[in-house]
Amino acid sequence: MSLYQLLAQFIRQHWRQYISAGLMLFAVAVMTVLIPRRVGMIIDGMVAGRFDNTALMWELSWLLGMGLAIYFLRVGWRTQLFTASYQLGMQLRTRLYERLSVQGSRFFQQQRTGDLMALGTNDADAIELAAGEAALAGFDGSMTFALVIGMMLLGVDWRLALAALLPFPFMAWAFKHITHHIQDASRDSLDRFSKLNDQVQETLSGVRTLRALGLEQRSAAQFAELAENAAAASLNAQRWEAAYEPAVGLSLTAAGALTLGVGGYLVWHGEMSIGALTSFSMYLGQLIWPMFAAGWVLSLLERGKAAWARLEPVLTQELSVNDEGKLGTPPAGDLVVDKVSFVYPGQTRPALQDISLRIAPGQTLGIVGPTGSGKSSVVRLLLRQIEAEQGLVQWGGHALADYKLQALRLSINWVAQEPFLFSASIADNISLSNPAASRAEVMKAAQLASVDDDIQRFPHGYDTLVGERGVTLSGGQKQRVAIARALLTASPLLLLDDALSAVDTQTETHILQHLAELRQEHPERSAVIVSHRLSAVLEANHILVLREGKIIEQGNHQALLDLNGWYATQWRYQQLEASLDAA
């Protein structure tokens, strides 16, 4: 879909507002072109002595009334038109947000956060201006131009009109040349702003790392360079937009000179009155706005086209994980992964190879293995953040793809290794999964996650603001707050993706004991615990050991010790490490 098709579709949806604005614009244009004609008649009447004081005051009052009517009509059509165009901006931003919220991780691996943010700000603004300012200026300028030219040709003198229009082909050629450069300059300006936006976002997100490494000056120099490039690109676009004004000025100056020359000749030979020449000169002055409007419209449309060329691919890009399921909440039943393989885009080595597992309701599955073995990929597979290329994933006898994505994820409580906390209070972050939860329920979840004591030590307790991304909390506290959030709802499946990595072994033991007690209260709830620390999966019903995306060992804790393989070796090492720490 092109920008023009988008605008046409939007105008059809909001045709009442655009027609209302168009009618008011038409009334303004008609009164605007009548004023010079009326002024010319007044001048001729005064020269001929046809007006007394009363008649003159009446004529002047009539002109003043039209001026006031034009003022209020301009306010009216601006209100109608810009109300509609702001709705387009809101729709585009909403579509962008909704699209981004359902895209999978593969999409975000290929996109920059700052660039996506720029699409929702500068680019959406440019398209919004094309629907508002450009539509306004285009309609108003075109109508005024047509009426003024008609009055010049039919209402004053066609010979003088043709003479005055001789420079206009030059202006049309200049506009075509300038427009081509504006599109390129606008695209470059938007791209450079996106890079600047991305740099700011990354710098603010990693400001503590930059300070720790002493890279403040280097980061400032990079920002200054990007800001200078963005400013230069924006200035270049503004230069080309400013080129419209000299083209209009030269054309109208030439038209004015021709008007004076030809008009003076006609007046000298008695073929035109002074009032008619005055009216024509006023009409020529009224052409200034349509000419500037033409340049302004072309500039806005080129900016809008450049912005739409960046925004449309994101709005129309296929979802990395399709949401075409029809089923609601998964029924009670086994969660089965059967001979699944998966390769990440751009990679040659499979992240998962021939993975099979089964989780019955109420059971706990442990997944362990060295770094990069595919543990988190299994979790992402169950969450449908990635799709299996081979094999089958079922829950309750139905493929995961048969469930609505939202219903599936509402049935799973997931705690990532690096949990995300919002800039809100601790209580709000915990109750995010269940906004209707009472403070007592929030506190109980925090107690199960062994974070209640830490929270109570804060000056404002559960009302303590955690700052952006939970910056005021330690890593272990953030993980436990995220666990409390997951435990606040009774979803049938709990996924802990190395969610205990930042807590000490004693706290880990308390949390696991609380989880075991909770599963006794809700025997139908299953759990998947991914961990580097083997003590976290000690009580699991079944444990998978992964390496390079393959299952190399499986069984319960004792069975794996009896195998005397990777698990047994790692267990002895971690036990020795724990005893040395205790000593």
Please report, for the domain that includes residue 499, its CATH number: 3.40.50.300
Instruction: Return the number of other C-beta atoms located less than 10 Å from residue 328's C-beta.
Output: 13
Confidence (pLDDT) at 26:
79
Distances in Å between the Cα of 456 and the Cα atoms of 279, 482, 483 are 82, 17, 17
- Give dist(CA 20, CA 28) in Å, integer: 13
CB 450 within 8 A of CB 510: yes
Question: Residue 463 falls within a domain, yes or no?
Answer: yes
Question: Residue 321 falls within a domain, yes or no?
Answer: no
Q: 483 and 512 share a domain? A: no
Q: 229 and 80 share a domain? A: yes
341: β partners: 390
Q: 97 and 138 share a domain? A: yes
Tokens of residue 79, six digits: 């209100």
Q: 247 and 290 share a domain? A: yes
What is the CATH classification number for the domain harbouring 93? 1.20.1560.10
Q: Which of 296, 316, 336 is the last residue of a domain?
A: 316
With helix as H, strand as E and coil as C, how does 238-271 read?
HHHHHCHHHHHHHHHHHHHHHHHHHHHHHHHCCC
Q: Which of 490, 518, 538 is the last residue of a domain?
A: 490
- Tell the residue number behind the tokens 């930059």, with chain if given: 210
Question: Residue 322 falls within a domain, yes or no?
Answer: no
Q: 191 and 267 share a domain? A: yes
| DSSP strand pairing (542-547 vs 364-368) | parallel
Q: 19 and 37 share a domain? A: yes
Q: 243 and 208 share a domain? A: yes
Per-residue pLDDT of the chain (583 residues; tens, 9 = 90+): 677 787 777 777 777 777 777 788 778 777 777 776 666 666 666 666 666 667 667 767 777 877 787 778 777 767 776 777 777 778 888 888 888 877 776 777 777 777 788 788 878 888 888 877 777 777 777 777 777 777 777 666 667 677 777 777 777 777 777 777 777 777 787 778 777 777 777 777 677 677 777 777 877 888 788 888 888 888 887 777 777 677 777 777 777 677 767 777 677 777 666 766 776 677 676 676 677 777 777 777 878 888 888 888 888 887 777 777 788 888 778 889 899 998 887 788 888 999 999 998 888 899 998 888 888 889 888 888 888 878 888 888 888 888 888 888 888 888 888 888 888 888 888 888 888 888 898 898 888 888 888 888 888 888 888 876 667 788 888 888 888 888 888 788 888 888 877 777 788 888 888 888 777 777 788 889 998 888 888 888 899 999 988 999 999 999 999 999 999 999 888 888 777 665 5
Q: 431 and 339 share a domain? A: no
Amino acid at the residue 327: L
Confidence (pLDDT) at 311:
85
With helix as H, strand as E and coil as C, how does 428-453 read?
HHHHHHCCCCCHHHHHHHHHHCCCHH
- Give dist(CA 531, CA 497) in Å, integer: 7
Three-state secondary-structure class, residue 544: strand
Confidence (pLDDT) at 49:
65
State CA 14 to chain mean position distance. Answer: 23
Confidence (pLDDT) at 583:
55
What domain count does the chain have? 3
Confidence (pLDDT) at 546:
92
Tokens of residue 327, six digits: 């089923």
Q: 134 and 218 share a domain? A: yes
- Give dist(CA 272, CA 335) in Å, integer: 93
Q: 153 and 268 share a domain? A: yes
State CA 247 to chain mean position distance. Answer: 37
User: Among candidates 393, 514, 406, which has minimal Cα distance to 451?
Assistant: 514
User: Among candidates 17, 5, 21, 136, which has minimal Cα distance to 84?
Assistant: 17
Confidence (pLDDT) at 286:
67
Confidence (pLDDT) at 545:
92
Q: 390 and 505 share a domain? A: yes
By residue range, what is the domain housing residue 267?
A: 3-316
Q: 358 and 448 share a domain? A: no
Q: How many CA atoms lie within 13 A of 8 on its CB side?
A: 5
Three-state secondary-structure class, residue 412: strand
Q: Which of 268, 291, 316 is the last residue of a domain?
A: 316
pTM: 0.67
